[in-house]
Structure 1
Amino acid sequence: MKNIENIKLRENSTIKEALEIIDKGSMQIALVVDDNDRLIGTLTDGDIRRGLLKGFDLTSSIEQIIFKTPTIAKISDTKEDILKIALSKKLHQIPIVDDFGKIVGIKEIEELVKPKDKINKVVLMVGGLGTRLRPLTETTPKPMLKVGNKPILQTIVEKFAEYGYTNIVMCVNYKSDIIQDYFKDGSDFGVNIEYILEEQRMGTAGALSLLKDKPNEPFFVMNGDLLTNVNFSNLLDFHSFANANATMCVREYEYQIPYGVVETINDKIISIVEKPIKKFFVNAGIYVLSPNIFEFIPKNEFFDMPTLFNILIERKRKILSFPIHEYWLDIGRMEEYKKANEEYGLVF
């Protein structure tokens, strides 16, 4: 996704200013935003030319020539969603907005059709015991259990490769030989894979201290027992444009209290709500981290990701949440494994 800071305009900008932005930019478009960076509309060379034909001059405001109903995509849209929109509208690029209409970038369709390999590393945590899925995991590590006639881990690898993220590190432990024998160096799957053996349980953040070459750019960390259609490029852009230290994907979780909830002040009942539904955001097990987080990770000891995030909160570092609206399933129990097999063909 392209950086859009140099192609933004306000509604009171002049046509001359718009022309200068469009001529200097490589994307041949200007994005008109309000004071909160919410997208108002777009301007192209064609819009300006049509305005000049109607009698506007270079000192005129762009207000009356803005195209106020541009085709947009949400930051939660998958690559396939964006491509489908673009092809149906015969577009070469689409502005990307968040859930509040705030512009976060612009996606060029050629980039989607021909994704380039990107240098950002992907660290997959695949060393868990999978005790809740026994007896299936007595002979097979959980990430290698088949969903849709292929291992869960293969679907994860292929999803990252689809977005051009091909530098993969697998942190292995339990029955690691099965994983390594299957994926080898990753070339059969269009990626490069290196392995880190956790000789003792290190936790989702502690294992990062074992990386041989520390990344110099933001990198992904993901649990190896998840199935999701999250747009990894949009996730990385969300993190990078905000210059965050860490970003955690979160998922909305609902829980219905099976009783009437009574609210009181002293002995006086002030309300009764029958079986209310409580909503929370829960950790989705997918992260983007910047290289500067390594200073907070101890060596050779168990250290999980929530602990890292709590330390970053205490140190007042910039950490973000990225809500996942796409398909997401944590395959931790037998009922979830069964559900994954039922839904796989419908989702992937």
Structure 2
Amino acid sequence: MSARWQDAVVGEDLPLLDAIARLDAAALQILIVTDAEGRLAGTLTDGDVRRAILRQLSLDSPVAEAMHRSPTTIPVGASREEAIGRMRERRLRHLPIIDEGGRPVGLDLLDEVAAPTTRPNAVVLMAGGLGTRLRPLTETTPKPLLRVGGRPLLETIVESFADHGFTRFFLSINYRADQVEAYFGDGSQLGVEVDYLREDEALGTAGALSLLPEAPTEPIVVMNGDILTRLDFGQLIDFHSRTHAELTMCVREYEMQVPYGVVEVEGERVTSLVEKPTARHFVNAGIYVLAPSLIANIRRGERLDMTDLAQRVMAGNGRLSAFPIREYWLDIGHLKDYERAQADFARYFIEADR
């Protein structure tokens, strides 16, 4: 049982924004929501938050409107083996412990009661770009080897995946490929296995997958090699499997404020006037999960970007799922982003791990 489970208990009237802050602070990936009498009313996980974001639920709404109302629980006194079996059977990572009156008295976490899960899924990291928008930094150093927080960006990415049980990596390389190979080698220094997809010419984020030495039998994760994120990659894989998607695309909510008052008209008549409105959209976050069947349809040497592949899936009435990222995420595409990454690293990648 987690010693910190009481940090994750909140009332059902707590605003969703505050609940998200508690979810992050408790660092248990779940909140136990109770009613006025202290009985279990539901639970809130990262997945529930993502679904609330997708349906654009206001962050001022009570957590009760976003929580899962019928969570799986286990009675107080149940054995460790029973808890592990129930979580594995239902593919859960958390299990509230409930007394006879329906009140929470503890929380079992799969990561604490069972050995960490090693993921069979391969990870492909796109590390061959020229990095032209980051010049002069990239004139002699490939972008994935630029140092953020005192170490190469790509090393942080690999270690983030390894922390979630991923051990098999393919690095797609082109520009200054020899430097990338010299640094990572076979991956043994990081406790993982690394191979290389060598692009003689740019094939795009999907085309490079045609260079895989063998057809995958499990979904694979593909990620741009210039992204800094605290995303839980295990949850991403589980989401992809649960939705039976051919392709899962991670998305990030992006806000744009119009710097003027927006006027809507019909003919000569003004029908609406909104002062400096904010528009919200989901944008492509550069992280994907692909089903093996989708990779098999990429022709070897074909120039293909992931957005083109997504269009193919939709045109063929395939399932394309969106996985909203609510954790820290930064695309290091420009010098200002690189400077921000340096400032953010200690907060999100050092302090968060203490």
TM more than 0.5: yes
> What is the 5 A alignment of 1:127-276?
127-276=128-277
TM-score (normalizing by structure 1): 0.72
Give the C-alpha shift of residue 117 in structure 1.
2.2
Partner Cα distance (2:67, 2:313) in 1: 26
**What residue number does 1:107 align with?**
93
Between Structure 1 and Structure 2, whose CA radius of gyration is higher? 1
- Cα distance change of structure 1 residues 274 and 71 upon mapping to structure 2, 3 Å threshold: closer
Q: Deviation of residue 275 (structure 1)? A: 1.2
Residue 46 of structure 2 corresponds to 74
* Secondary structure of 1:178 counterpart: helix
List gaps (5 residues or longer) in structure 2.
Answer: 1-31, 50-64, 72-89, 95-108, 350-354
Alpha-carbon distance in structure 2 between the residues aligned to 1:99 and 1:215: 36
Q: Is the 8 A contact 2:130 2:175 kept in 1?
A: yes
Across the two proteins, how many residue pairs are aligned to each other?
Answer: 267
Partners of 1:230 and 1:99 in 2: CA distance: 20
CA distance in 2: counterparts of 1:328 and 1:111, whole angstroms: 24
Deviations 1:95-127 (A, max 9, x none): xxx966387951053436742322100000100
Percent identity reads: 47
The two structures have a TM-score, normalised by structure 2, of 0.71
Instruction: After TM superposition, give the deviation of residue 294 of structure 1 in Å.
Output: 2.2
Separation in 2 of the partners of 1:319 and 1:68?
35
Query: Residue 130 of structure 2: SS of its match in structure 1?
Result: coil
Shift of 1:317: 0.5
| Cα distance in 2 for residues equivalent to 1:238 and 1:100 | 17
| Rounded Cα–Cα distance in structure 2 between residues aligned with 1:99 and 1:304 | 35
Q: Structure 1 unaligned runs (5+)? A: 1-39, 43-66, 78-97
- Secondary structure of the corresponding residue to residue 138 of structure 1: coil
SS of residue in 2 equivalent to 1:69: strand
- Write the mapping of 1:1-150 to structure 2, written as runs, cut at 5 A: 68-69=40-41, 72-75=44-47, 101=68, 105-107=91-93, 109-111=109-111, 114-150=115-151
Task: Give the Å deviation of 1:241.
Answer: 1.1
Q: Residue in 2 aligned with 1:26?
A: none
Partner of 1:300: 301
- CA distance, structure 2, for counterparts of residue 345 and residue 114 of structure 1: 29
CA distance in 1, matches of 2:304, 2:336: 29
Q: Any idea what SS the aligned residue of 1:337 has? A: helix
TM-superposed CA distance for 1:298, in Å, is: 2.9
**Does the residue aligned with 1:313 lie in a helix, a strand or coil?**
helix
